[in-house]
């Protein structure tokens, strides 16, 4: 089996010429959006014949989406089933979604496909080794991560004018004997090298989640941490984890069967890569070794890296299980497991994979390891599910769990679906030069909208689960670097991605769930910077979200447009949505500024 697994020579990219790791030849200019799969497959509409390689990457028939040969310019063919406005009609969109889900179930592996939550974005769940063996193995080798100090630390978003307002947000810590929060990084008993890396990152003082989580993790306690988007949750777990590895000095095991001490899993490849790079930052100049494993990339390359030994392995669940099943990774030395975007990791789609990891025969039992979970949203039903993996855990809620960042101005336009395209074009024209992240619900619409904007000379990339991993990373890189001001994305980019200078998030299509809305708009307005989210509300399509949107707006102290009023009851009233620890500890909020009531819980 192993021989077939990945016996093709890896495609190794030439060394990067710029400090970004992507070399200019590969840069996707907007016009290349029609390459490969793009519009070819709009015309055949036969989803069942697409194949999924098990890592969330689909190949069109006959290699139609290959990277070889550039296709014609985007939009040069008129795809069937477009309505008069050129957009996909609803019937088509629904069929696409059903097709995706159907295929997920049909494979009958990885826990029977996705559950109730919509996934149209190339999240990486299914181990998929068997499928990959039957097909041409993936040969993409991502650029080597940089060791240049300046490049490593340049991705940090500088904190904005509202950073100090974080301190006014009520924090509630519940559970037994929580340690006292730290007031500064210097008072946290961190090693010199970790403190130096915090300073290199430009962090002057900890955010509320960091103040509370750092001592909790240092004490070895399990934790469920909830804080708004863009408030520093990643460093809240990476800093104490790396510090502990250095303090404890446990030797690194180097063997073909890697035995990491820390496993960090997240739902998407891009987020996994981002956490990997953050972990490299905070361990810079130290002995701590960090490795990464995510789908859509050459397996042998990652396997070789991991087998050189790593203290921390950051992975998507699908690729992680592939490595575990093939005995390239085992959990017997694990001292800490982190689920980032934990509510997503524990929903019906990912739960089977998480269970498989937590209950793996080599996994250290929950009372002998530390388990940490973080997210901006944490519905109560998911908290209940999470409890079985945690041991006497502490729960931190910074502000309203599931609430939107108050630094994001939320604007709504009521439109029909026929008006969306022109409204988007006008919005982009009016905000010339600004960096705009546009969310759509389907992969095909992402391609279509990106091609449409590119035709208007608006340099645009797209990112979604049908694009090859190399294309996904290039699209994100182009957007991050400012080469393309517009990125059109599916849900794959909704969670966790930390991109500098995103001025506007556009919900061209509103998502189906309010938690995804909160994560999406949280791509802007991060670390105290102001941002703007513009959502196109289509009364024919989005009525189910009305009440939840109105509630989110009110809680963020923002005006509710008339057309969102009277939409019934929010789906997450009172505590139901996860505004508090489901165990109902009576601990008082720890830092309510004088004269201020705790935030409403919901």
Ligand X SMILES: Nc1ncnc2c1ncn2[C@@H]1O[C@H](COP(=O)(O)OP(=O)(O)OP(=O)(O)O)[C@@H](O)[C@H]1O
Q: Give the residues lining the site for ligand X (CB under 6 A).
A: 156-157, 159, 201, 203, 206-207, 210, 227, 229-235, 376, 496, 498, 522, 526-527
Q: Which is nearer to ligand X, 235 or 246 (CB)?
A: 235
Q: Are 135 and 52 in contact (CB under 8 A)?
A: no
Q: 165: which 2 tokens?
A: 């307002």
Cβ 204 to ligand X shortest distance, Å? 6
Query: For residue 154, what are the contacts with CB-CB under 8 A and spacing of at least 6?
Result: none
Integer Cα distance of 452 and 77 in angstroms: 12
Integer Cα distance of 33 and 452 in angstroms: 10
Cβ 128 to ligand X shortest distance, Å? 26
Q: Which is nearer to ligand X, 238 or 547 (CB)?
A: 238
First to last CA, the chain: 50
Query: For residue 488, what are the contacts with CB-CB under 8 A and spacing of at least 6?
Result: 438, 439, 440, 446, 449, 450, 453, 460, 461, 462, 463, 508
Cβ 56 to ligand X shortest distance, Å? 20
Q: 293: which 2 tokens?
A: 């494993």
Q: Which is nearer to ligand X, 159 or 535 (CB)?
A: 159
Cβ 596 to ligand X shortest distance, Å? 22
Cβ 362 to ligand X shortest distance, Å? 29
- Ordered strands of the 336-340 beta sheet: 171-174, 394-398, 223-226, 370-375, 336-340, 262-265, 312-315, 290-293
Q: Among all residues, whose Cβ is closest to ligand X? A: 232
Tokens 């530390």 correspond to what residue?
Answer: 370
Integer Cα distance of 27 and 476 in angstroms: 11
HEC states along 526-544?
A: CCCCCEEEEEEECCCCCHH
Cβ 527 to ligand X shortest distance, Å? 4
Integer Cα distance of 182 and 185 in angstroms: 7
Cβ 214 to ligand X shortest distance, Å? 10
Cβ 42 to ligand X shortest distance, Å? 32
Report how far apart, in Å, the C-alpha atoms of 320 and of each of 266, 337, 362 are. 11, 13, 14
- Ordered strands of the 504-507 beta sheet: 408-414, 531-537, 504-507, 436-439, 486-489, 460-463
Report how far apart, in Å, the C-alpha atoms of 184 and of each of 17, 196, 215, 353, 457 are. 39, 14, 11, 37, 48
Cβ 490 to ligand X shortest distance, Å? 17
Rg (CA), the chain: 23
Cβ 234 to ligand X shortest distance, Å? 3
Q: For residue 195, which phi and psi values (nearest 5 degrees)?
A: -60, -40
């Amino acid at each position: 089996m192993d021989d077939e697994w990945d016996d093709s020579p890896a495609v190794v990219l030439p060394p990067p010429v710029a400090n970004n790791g992507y070399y200019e030849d590969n840069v996707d200019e907007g016009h290349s959006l029609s390459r490969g799969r793009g519009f070819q497959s709009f015309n055949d509409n036969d989803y069942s014949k697409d194949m999924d390689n098990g890592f969330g990457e689909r190949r069109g028939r006959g290699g139609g989406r290959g990277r070889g040969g550039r296709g014609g310019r985007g939009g040069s063919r008129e795809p069937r089933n477009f309505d008069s406005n050129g957009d996909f009609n609803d019937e088509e969109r629904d069929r696409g979604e059903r097709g995706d889900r159907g295929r997920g179930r049909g494979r009958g592996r990885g826990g029977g496909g996705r559950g109730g939550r919509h996934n149209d974005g190339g999240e990486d769940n299914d181990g998929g080794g068997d499928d990959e063996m039957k097909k041409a193995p993936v040969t993409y080798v991502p650029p080597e991560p940089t060791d240049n100090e300046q490049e490593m630390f340049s991705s940090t978003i500088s904190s904005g004018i509202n950073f100090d307002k974080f301190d006014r947000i009520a924090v509630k810590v519940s559970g037994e004997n929580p340690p006292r929060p730290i007031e500064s990084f210097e008072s946290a008993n961190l090693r010199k090298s970790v403190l130096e890396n915090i300073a290199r990152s430009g962090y002057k003082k900890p955010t509320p989640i960091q103040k509370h989580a750092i001592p909790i993790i240092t004490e070895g306690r399990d934790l469920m941490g909830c804080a708004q988007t863009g408030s520093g949750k990643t460093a809240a777990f990476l800093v104490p984890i790396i510090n502990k590895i250095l303090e404890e000095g446990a030797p690194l095991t180097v063997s073909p069967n890697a035995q990491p001490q820390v496993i960090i899993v997240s739902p998407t490849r891009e987020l996994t890569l981002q956490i990997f790079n953050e972990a490299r930052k905070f361990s810079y100049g130290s002995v701590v070794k960090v490795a990464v494993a995510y789908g859509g990339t050459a397996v042998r390359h990652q396997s070789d890296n991991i087998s050189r030994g790593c203290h921390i392995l950051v992975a998507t669940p699908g690729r992680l299980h592939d490595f575990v099943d093939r005995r390239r990774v085992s959990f017997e030395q694990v001292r800490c497991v982190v689920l980032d975007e934990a509510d997503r990791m524990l929903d019906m789609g990912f739960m089977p994979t998480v269970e498989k990891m937590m209950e793996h025969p080599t996994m250290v039992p929950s009372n002998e390891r530390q388990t940490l979970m973080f997210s901006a949203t944490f519905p109560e039903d998911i908290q209940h599910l999470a409890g079985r993996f945690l041991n006497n855990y502490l729960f931190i809620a910074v502000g309203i769990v599931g609430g939107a960042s108050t630094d994001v101005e939320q604007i709504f336009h009521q439109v029909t679906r026929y008006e969306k395209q022109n409204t988007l074009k006008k919005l982009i024209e009016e905000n010339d030069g600004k960096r705009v992240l546009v969310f759509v619900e389907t992969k095909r619409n992402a391609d279509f909208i990106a091609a449409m904007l590119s035709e208007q000379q608006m340099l645009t990339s797209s990112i979604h689960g049908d694009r090859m991993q190399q294309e996904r990373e290039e699209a994100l890189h182009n957007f991050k670097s400012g080469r393309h001001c517009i990125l059109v994305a599916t849900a794959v980019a909704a969670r966790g991605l930390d991109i500098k200078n995103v001025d506007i998030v556009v919900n061209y299509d509103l998502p189906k769930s309010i938690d995804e809305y909160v994560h999406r708009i949280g791509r802007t307005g991060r670390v105290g910077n102001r941002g703007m989210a513009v959502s196109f509300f289509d009364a024919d399509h989005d009525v189910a979200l009305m009440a939840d949107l109105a509630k989110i707006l009110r809680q963020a102290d923002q005006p509710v447009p008339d057309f969102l009023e009277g939409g019934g009851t929010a789906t997450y009233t009172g505590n139901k949505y996860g505004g508090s620890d489901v165990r109902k500890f009576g601990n008082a909020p720890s830092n309510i500024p004088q004269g201020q009531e705790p935030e409403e819980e919901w």
